[in-house]
Amino acid sequence: MMGRWSSVGLQQLRLQSTSTASSGSTEGLKAEKKNKPMTVDRELPDPLKDRTRARVQFVGFWVLMGICALLMFNYEKQNSPVVTTTLHFLRRSQIIRSVLGDEIDFASVYPWISGELNQVKGVVDIKFTVKGSNNQGVVRLVADRKSRHDEFLIHEWSLEVDGKKYDLLADDSVDFSV
């Protein structure tokens, strides 16, 4: 009763149809794509139309990158061993604790440390603001060294509070031999 559509015949018919469709149809499509011209259904945008907008965006991008670079360099200064050690000695100084009070730290959440802090060249000339529980002031540290093998020579290490300058090098309550 199978007659003309036996299972072997159906399999052969399927194989023939898939092999001819896969080999012949892709070649035909490739030939059609090569000969067919490309068309655009809409008008292309004019690249010179918004020149001022592009220039503003370009300048804005580089200004933002410059600000980010300055913030990164300041963050490196903030976390340098020179600044953290300076804060450590400020917290241990009896004179500074009597002037600023307890809880001595940076004056703001993100402090700005101005000046040059280059340990490789041997130049330290920084200034930043600190605060305590009673008052706030500006710390200044100036130091240098002649060569990489020498220790830093501190020229000035002071705290200025309300116009009065306190010399931290003359403070006997802090042991510098740490």
- Residue keyed to tokens 């959440």: 109
How many residues does the structure list for the chain?
178
- Written as tens digits, the pLDDT of the chain (178 aa) is 455 555 555 555 455 545 544 555 556 556 566 677 777 788 888 878 888 988 999 999 999 999 999 999 999 999 999 999 999 999 988 889 999 998 999 999 989 999 999 988 999 999 999 999 999 999 999 999 998 888 888 999 999 999 999 998 888 877 766 5
Q: Under a CB-based contact definition with an 8 Å cutoff, are residues 99 and 166 in contact?
A: yes
Could you tell me which of 157, 155, 67, 65 has the C-alpha nearest to residue 112?
67
Asked if residue 156 is part of any domain, the answer here is yes
| pTM value surpassing 0.85 | no
Whether 22 is covered by a domain: the verdict is no
Q: How many domains does the chain have?
A: 1
- Quick check: helix, strand or coil at residue 31? helix
**43 assigned to some structural domain:** no
For residue 145, give its domain range.
75-167
